[in-house]
Amino acid sequence: MVRLARLTGADRSVSNAATIAGYRVISRIVEGPMSTIYRCENKDGVGVVAVKVLSQHAALVASKLTERLGKPWEGQRAITLKHPNVVRTLEYGKWGNTYYLVMEYLDGGNLSEHIETGSSALDGKRLSILTLVAHGLTYVHQQGIIHRDVCPRNIMLAEDGTPRLIDFGVAMGARDILRNTGARTGRSSYMAPELVRDNIFNEQTDIYAFGVTLYETLTGRKPFEGDGRLSTMHLQLNLAPFPPSRYNPDIPPELEAVTMKAMSKKPDIRYRKMDELFVALTALRHLQI
């Protein structure tokens, strides 16, 4: 077994001889504070998969969820999701003291990368891509799961351009109660005001984050971005966003209206359910943007 340090970033050069639970490591894809994802050869030697290894802190959280609270950790939750617009999880488990999960390998890049580079993959397909993501998120909510980290970085494209919602590392059950410690999970640019103010999360906070993602995909910029996390959260609470047509005059009025409703600061104005937003976007499928 390869030493854990080599799999969590202490040794940044991953040997081709390294394996994770029987999967041979080809390269490191991305490394973050909660996990590291590797491109690996499938166990049967045919094709590649993505193997996610939880950091020591994330593993402690997973252990607490399963052993003390009797709730599923990311792998257990993700493997139950079967939808064409949600990443497919193939296996999960513990390898020694390490929690890992195996997912389909998606090589089309994430939506954030395509937005930042003005990729041709988005030409005339922005609305189509986000409508499919809305379909996937509707399904996730119907399974009683709140994603809690909807953003362009967590939308990957498959080789054929099909979008998949990924990363259920901070997802929680719709009936779970979060203790208000003052800490806020998620990216400040996508936080609904009620999440910033009261640490409330539900379908509508996911809808708000999706609305911001829609805005960013259509305009190439976030509606709120301060000098830092606290500054951005302050803007979320107190500043009304400019209409997206200010930055992209090609956005049709009906699509702008859907976007602004999705990211309304008042939950009673925002879409109540993700399926309502999916239906609204589907009704605009004739638009090319």
Q: What domains are defined for the chain? A: 4-104 (3.30.200.20), 111-282 (1.10.510.10)
Q: What is the distance between the alpha carbons of residues 124 and 194, in angstroms, rounded to a whole number?
A: 34
* Percent of the chain surpassing pLDDT 90: 74
Tokens of 168: 């259920």
pLDDT range class, residue 17, cuts 50, 70, 90:
low
pLDDT of residue 13: 39
Reply yes or no on whether 149 is catalytic: yes
pLDDT of residue 192: 94
Task: Return mean pLDDT, the chain.
Answer: 90
Q: Which pLDDT tens digit goes with each residue over 169-222?
A: 999 998 887 666 555 667 999 999 999 998 889 999 999 999 999 999 999 999
Q: What is the distance between the alpha carbons of residues 160 and 138, in angstroms, rounded to a whole number?
A: 22
pLDDT of residue 176: 83
Residues 6+ apart with CB under 8 A from 38: 7, 14, 20, 23, 25, 26, 27, 28, 29, 50, 51, 52, 53
**Helical residues (DSSP H) of 95-165, grouped into ranges:** 111-117, 126-142
- Do residues 4 and 98 touch, judged by C-beta distance below 8 A? yes
pLDDT of residue 179: 62
List 149, 198, 268, 275, catalytic entry: 149
Cα atoms in the Cβ-side hemisphere of radius 13 Å centred on 139: 17
Residues 6+ apart with CB under 8 A from 177: none
Q: Which pLDDT tens digit goes with each residue over 261-271?
A: 999 999 999 99
Tokens of 257: 């209206």
Cα-Cα-Cα-Cα dihedral sign, residues 143, 145, 146, 152: negative
pLDDT of residue 61: 85
